[in-house]
Amino acid sequence: MENMEKVVYLDNAATTACAPEALEMMVKALSGACGNPSSHYSVGYEAKELVDTGRAQVAKAINATPAEIFFTSCGSEADNWAIKGTAHKFAKQGKKHLITSCIEHHAVLHSMQALEREGFEVTYLPVDAEGFVSPADVEAAIRPDTALVTIMFANNEIGTIEPIEEIGAVCRKHGVWFHTDAVQAVGAVPIDCHALPVDMLSLSAHKFNGPKGVGALYIRRGVMPLNFLDGGAQERGRRAGTENLAGIVGLATALEAAVNSLDEKRARLARMRDYVLEHIQKMPQVKVNGPLDGSKRLPNNVNASFTAAEGESLLLMLDMRGVCASSGSACASGSLDPSHVLLSIGLPHEIAHCSLRISFGVQNTMDDAKAVCDALDEVVPAVRQRSPLWRA
């Protein structure tokens, strides 16, 4: 946190700093209610009340009922549960086909690959040049043995907000369960689970200024994937494990705060996003990745490719100027392969390698947007000058 104050932190899609009000409630939870929420005595009830209150806050924030909210250890667990729990449930009825997109997060893609190794069949839908999945493609891919469609709400790299309502409507029409990984969307755009035709929705606290290591899965009433974590009877018997009390309290507090100030937050983030997008489009040989229509793009997301300026070099030089961003490489896996998302929108390898993601957060100001533009004006030509591929 100390370091975060010295740097211009523009990697909020990777993670966000914990909001002070969430931190305060977490400290209270850690130092107060010392009981196990499953225990039947006063300090246990006190802890259970914190979990129940958190569940009600989360339900209100995404317009669900508390009984439809299940806490997990992270967004990845929520995705794994929705996908594997549904696949294994319907396999018993001979339904072993799943549909997803080729730009999903690895929590989804690797879950799918694990299921393929077990004998499931997966259709990976393509996306267009801005990263949109076509609802018509979803409909064409649905078969009598399709168990689940899972399409992310918003992409973590290029910010594309998918047509979730239309895709969900297609799934409803064909009676197929629909899950959406909304890890990047919750707390960033309005989400109404009861109005949307979604059956399951994943979220993660650390993307909206909550703590790391806690998430939730919304499961619509009547929808029942098999359990993913077996053990005790926590989460109404559907997800075992003693509750992460402080994490749940932090998640709920941060989400409530994010949703209460959503309109103002979105407008502020979009102003910074659009300032940077406008600036970089004036630079030579730059391609913006993701939708150009701001209403279909996450309000905090900028992603662009700078011909002949390798992303990792840009990152290092930005870091030397105190700016933290992210490249288009799959850094999380320790690999320098270009991102599957950038390749899926049709970028050639050499352009995908020259990409940068800038993602704003609530702590950022227009000064940060200006600072990253100034830094890019210096580092992009400097990196290009050393590249044998650069032709001005």
3-class state of residue 105 by DSSP: coil
Mask: binding to ligand PLP, 141-160, rule CB under 6 A, as x and -?
-----------x---x----
Give the range of 120-128, 181-189, 299-307, 371-379 binding ligand PLP by CB under 6 A. Answer: 181-189
Q: How many residues bind ligand PLP (CB under 6 A)?
A: 13
Q: Is 187 in the site for ligand PLP (CB under 6 A)?
A: no
Please, what is the minimum distance in Å from the beta carbon of residue 366 to ligand PLP?
A: 25
Q: Is 183 in the site for ligand PLP (CB under 6 A)?
A: yes
Q: Assign residue 187 a region: left if phi > 0, alpha if psi is -120 to 50, beta otherwise? A: left
Q: Which of 101, 150, 184, 244 is close enough to bind ligand PLP by CB under 6 A?
A: 184
Give the range of 46-54, 95-103, 140-148, 179-187 binding ligand PLP by CB under 6 A. Answer: 179-187
186: Cβ contacts below 8 Å, ≥ 6 apart: 61, 62, 153, 201, 203, 204, 207, 208, 255
Is 18 a catalytic site residue? no
Q: Is 111 in the site for ligand PLP (CB under 6 A)?
A: no
At 377, the amino acid letter reads: D
Q: Say how far apart CA 110 and CA 263 lie, in whole Å.
A: 34
Token digits of residue 13 = 């899609």
Is the Cβ–Cβ distance between 307 and 351 less than 8 Å? Answer: yes
Catalytic residue among 324, 331, 354, 373: 331
Of all residues in this chain, which one has the CB nearest to ligand PLP in the complex? 75
Return the number of the residue (161 or 309) whose C-beta is nearest ligand PLP.
161
Mask: binding to ligand PLP, 198-217, rule CB under 6 A, as x and -?
------x----------x--
Q: State how beta strands 8-9 and 323-324 pair.
A: parallel
Please, what is the minimum distance in Å from the beta carbon of residue 340 to ligand PLP?
A: 13
Supply the angle between the helices 75-91 and 106-117 in degrees, to the nearest 10. Answer: 30
Q: Say how far apart CA 183 and CA 148 lie, in whole Å.
A: 19
Q: Is 161 in the site for ligand PLP (CB under 6 A)?
A: no
Q: Is 76 in the site for ligand PLP (CB under 6 A)?
A: yes
Return the number of the residue (56 or 330) whose C-beta is nearest ligand PLP.
330
Handedness of CA 310, 311, 317, 321 (dihedral sign): positive
3-class state of residue 147 by DSSP: strand
Other residues' Cβ atoms within 10 Å of the Cβ of residue 176:
22
Other residues' Cβ atoms within 10 Å of the Cβ of residue 137:
18
Is the Cβ–Cβ distance between 239 and 229 less than 8 Å? Answer: yes
Q: Is 180 in the site for ligand PLP (CB under 6 A)?
A: no
Residues that bind ligand PLP (CB under 6 A): 74-76, 79, 105, 107, 152, 156, 181, 183-184, 204, 215
- Residues with catalytic function: 331
